[in-house]
Amino acid sequence: MPRAWNTRLVAHIDCPGGGQVWWDKDTLYVSHMSPPHGTSIYDVSDPRHPRLISQLELPMGWHSHKVRAANGIMVVNHERFREGNAEFGGGLGIYDVADPSKPRLITKWRSSGEGGGVHRYDFDGRYAYISPTVEGYLGNIMMILDLARPEAPQEVGRWWLPGQHAAGGEEYLWDDYVTPRCHHPLRVGNRIYLSYWHHGFHILDVSDLSKPRLISSVNEPGSNPHPTHTALRMREQLGGRDILIVADEDVAKLRPAPPAHARIYDITDETHPVQIATFQKPGLDPDGAPQPQMMGCHQPAERFHGNTVPFAWFANGLRLVDMTDPVAPKEVGYYEPDPPAGARFASSNDVTMDPNGLIYLIDRQAGVSIIEQLHA
């Protein structure tokens, strides 16, 4: 049986596992992990009775496990996923979803270079902030696309760590270490908060989108055994501070380490981020004994309301973390789903929230849970 505290299951969607879930205008967009399943679209105007209204597929060898929608436009990623159709290619699928029951492909923007395509990204209805592979660069970089004319996306800016631009003659700086890889950018105002996997996080000034400028980095290669998945800025000050939540992902560890957790930074002086707290699911690491991967942290909700942040905590489901006192974050609720059929553990991969406070939690193996918090 699922375990819950201060939460209640509203409905469950039986669907293939996925990487991201996104709510927009009573419509739930679900991106799947494995082909041929691409994107499923549900009418959730009655969240107790979700109704499938459309599905997209894609060829073997690729997945579109991320999705964002705004202003009648849906953006899905195309990224290499094992062996299959080599000609399909990486990039972004851009769709008209003015009628979400009839998604219409507007165009495909193709990434270049050797590699997987586009991983995770942000989309505000006009600009997409993406993490593509690009010809001449090592690993994924950050790129900004203008979708004002979605049929003809235009690059307006890019940023990378010095040393990634091999074709530009930059010296490779990471012998015997992991090649840099932009995981995903998140924009708030004229800043981008950029997670860079095993190369920390970076704060960029994008007052001029064509010339992203580095403000500061927390990047000491090798100091953190876990990759940095997300750098999420709290929209309002907490305790008089500007706060950044940095989620490490419990995979690809550089060495044996406890389960990944979240780190809390004071970025009031954004040129010098200062770590002020951490959060780990209570009881997850009682004695330091080795544990399997994907037990700890994965992803905070990129959209939420108030000071309580929902997290997808892999095998430990949904964690609700009150950030009101940022130096002492505390858990105020959870929902731990049963593992899907045939799985040893749940694998909660992504979470989002709608304007009414309902929480949508997707498992990378199967299913979406729709959850409500019982008490604020």
- Please answer whether residues 68 and 31 qualify as being in contact, where contact means their C-beta atoms are separated by less than 8 angstroms: no
Say what the pLDDT of residue 22 is.
98
Each residue's pLDDT expressed in tens, for the chain with a length of 376 residues? 889 999 999 999 999 999 999 999 999 999 999 999 999 999 999 999 999 999 999 999 999 999 999 999 999 999 999 888 888 999 999 999 999 999 999 999 999 877 689 999 999 999 999 999 999 999 999 999 999 999 999 999 999 999 999 999 999 999 889 999 999 999 999 999 999 999 999 999 999 999 999 999 999 888 899 999 999 999 999 999 999 999 999 999 999 999 999 999 999 999 999 999 999 999 999 888 888 999 999 999 999 999 999 999 999 999 999 999 999 999 999 999 999 999 999 999 999 999 999 999 999 999 999 999 997 5
The residue type of 242 is D
Alpha-carbon gap, residue 157 to 297, rounded angstroms: 31
Say what the pLDDT of residue 222 is.
83
Say what the pLDDT of residue 112 is.
87
Q: Where are the domains of the chain?
A: 3-373
Burial (CB count within 10 angstroms: exposed 0-12, middle 13-18, buried 19+), residue 220: exposed
Q: Count CB neighbours of 16 within 10 A.
A: 19
| b/e per residue 81-99 (b: at least 16 CB within 10 A) | beeeeeebebbbbbbbbee
Say what the pLDDT of residue 194 is.
98
The domain defined by 3-373 folds into Methylamine Dehydrogenase; Chain H (2.130.10)
Say what the pLDDT of residue 2 is.
87
* Inter-CA distances, 17 with 27, 147, 160, Å: 18, 29, 32
Say what the pLDDT of residue 1 is.
81
Length of the chain, please?
A: 376
Say what the pLDDT of residue 376 is.
58
Question: Angle CA(66)–CA(298)–CA(30) in degrees, nearest 5?
Answer: 25
Question: Which among 76, 105, 299 has a CA at the least distance from the CA of 183?
Answer: 299
Burial (CB count within 10 angstroms: exposed 0-12, middle 13-18, buried 19+), residue 352: buried
Alpha-carbon gap, residue 358 to 76, rounded angstroms: 23
Q: Which two tokens stand for residue 159?
A: 């940023």
